[in-house]
């Protein structure tokens, strides 16, 4: 049996951040997993969903190889979506454009989701289809429906750091939304050579590539340069609450033109890995040294943390909660205790 929320008619409103907004209420239903028939409906346990008046952005991810001519399908698929303000694309490259140390992200895309070349696209880490023929259909399907989390981001690049400000508003109480955030840095206008399997028309005609040489000059956009670990949102978040963060991030050495950088904040469901929402901004370039972040109080636990044979151990005198994430910000596990806390890790890279 599966419990899940379904539409339930209700007329309500609330004031969120100084503006009146609608509230949609949901009832709990018990559904048979095999037949999908309704077994029971419980309208006494209503889930209230705040209408955030926010955009549901859609994230597309693909794997581009300069020597694989099929990558042209991903490149052209992204171009076809460029005019949609809610579309966010990532290209993980096989060469030095995407750093070799991004092994956790590469494993997520190529192994967990089996996106190994430019013919395939991953949408919101939930749907997989053809990078050119299906990208619009799949993206639109994810762009529709209620927005559970709305988020905004802006940022500035300094010579030593990237400073980003984020604002996230929740449509549900956090007991119904177990989610976390992470960041992906991309760079546009990177130049390279791309194999063209359509040259001469032997593989058919494709957007004029049949008239070009076997190796062609290509300008790549949305190239993944670095991923950053995030954190889980507080369990005390209520529907309509807005959480704001100011975060300082490192700049990778492989950046060519800081003015071509974009930062994306991704919010994922800890249970399913699904991308709930995302926000992207172009990073303004300031130069100089990044200012200190004020207003954040650090509270360090007294003790030591050791990692051995796939187990994280905390030894000390404080009561602590230890949370483990991959380098992509995906939640792995947690444990709470005093004096000694152990977490046994799964066989997973990039923790």
Question: Tens of pLDDT along 229-281?
Answer: 878 877 777 878 888 888 899 988 889 999 999 999 999 988 888 999 999 99
CA distance 26 to 18: 24
Q: What pLDDT does 286 receive?
A: 84
Range of weakest confidence among 58-67, 206-215, 240-249, 317-326: 317-326
Burial of 125 (0-12, 13-18, 19+ CB in 10 A): buried
pLDDT grade for 58, boundaries at 50, 70 and 90 = very high
Distances (CA, A) of 328 to 77, 125, 220, 270: 25, 13, 23, 12
What are the tens digits of pLDDT across the range 167-203?
998 887 766 678 889 999 999 999 999 999 999 998 8
Q: What pLDDT does 173 receive?
A: 76
Higher-confidence position of 327 and 182:
182
Strand segments, DSSP code E, in the chain are: 2-16, 19-31, 38-50, 58-64, 87-93, 120-123, 127-130, 149-157, 161-170, 179-187, 190-195, 215-220, 223-232, 242-250, 261-269, 275-282, 284-285, 303-308, 311-325, 331-344
Instruction: Summarize the confidence of residues 76-93 as an average pLDDT.
Output: 95
Range of weakest confidence among 39-53, 118-132, 172-186, 229-243: 39-53
CA distance 181 to 83: 26
SS3 143: helix
Q: Phi and psi (nearest 5°) for 182?
A: -150, 175
**Cβ contacts of 172 within 8 Å, gap of 6 or more:** 47, 48, 49, 50, 148, 239
Instruction: Summarize the confidence of residues 73-102 as an average pLDDT.
Output: 88
Instruction: Summarize the confidence of residues 128-157 as an average pLDDT.
Output: 91
Whole-angstrom Cα Rg for the chain? 22
pTM over 0.85: no
């Amino acid at each position: 049996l599966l419990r899940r929320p379904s539409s339930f008619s209700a007329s309500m409103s609330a004031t969120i951040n100084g503006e009146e907004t609608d509230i949609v209420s949901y009832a709990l239903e018990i559904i048979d997993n095999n037949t999908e028939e309704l077994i029971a409906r419980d309208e006494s346990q209503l889930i209230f969903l705040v209408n955030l008046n926010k955009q549901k952005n859609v994230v597309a991810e693909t794997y581009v190889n300069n020597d694989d001519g099929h990558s042209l399908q991903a490149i052209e698929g992204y171009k076809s979506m460029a005019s949609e303000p809610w579309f966010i694309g990532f290209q993980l490259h096989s060469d030095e454009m995407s750093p070799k140390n991004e092994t956790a992200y590469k494993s997520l895309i190529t192994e967990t989701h089996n996106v190994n070349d430019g013919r395939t696209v991953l949408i919101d880490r939930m749907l997989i289809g053809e990078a050119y023929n299906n990208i619009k259909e799949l993206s639109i399907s994810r762009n529709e429906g209620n927005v559970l989390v709305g988020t905004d981001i802006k940022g500035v690049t300094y010579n030593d750091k990237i400073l980003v400000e984020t604002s996230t508003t929740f449509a549900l109480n956090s007991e119904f939304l177990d989610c976390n955030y992470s960041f992906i840095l991309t760079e546009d206008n990177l130049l390279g050579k791309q194999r063209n399997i359509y040259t001469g028309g032997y593989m058919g005609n494709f957007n004029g590539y049949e008239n070009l040489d076997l190796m062609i000059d290509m300008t790549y956009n949305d190239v993944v340069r670095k991923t950053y670990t995030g954190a889980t949102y507080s369990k005390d978040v209520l529907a309509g609450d807005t959480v704001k963060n100011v975060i300082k991030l490192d700049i990778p050495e492989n950046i060519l033109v800081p003015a071509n950088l974009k930062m994306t904040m991704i919010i994922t469901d800890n249970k399913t890995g699904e991308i709930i929402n995302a926000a992207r901004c172009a990073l303004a370039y300031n130069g100089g040294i990044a200012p200190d972040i004020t207003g954040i109080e650090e509270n360090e636990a007294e003790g030591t943390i050791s990692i051995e044979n796939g187990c994280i151990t905390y030894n000390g005198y404080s009561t602590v909660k230890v949370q483990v994430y991959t380098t992509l910000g995906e939640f792995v596990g947690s444990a709470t205790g005093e004096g000694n806390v152990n977490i046994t890790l799964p066989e997973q890279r990039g923790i």
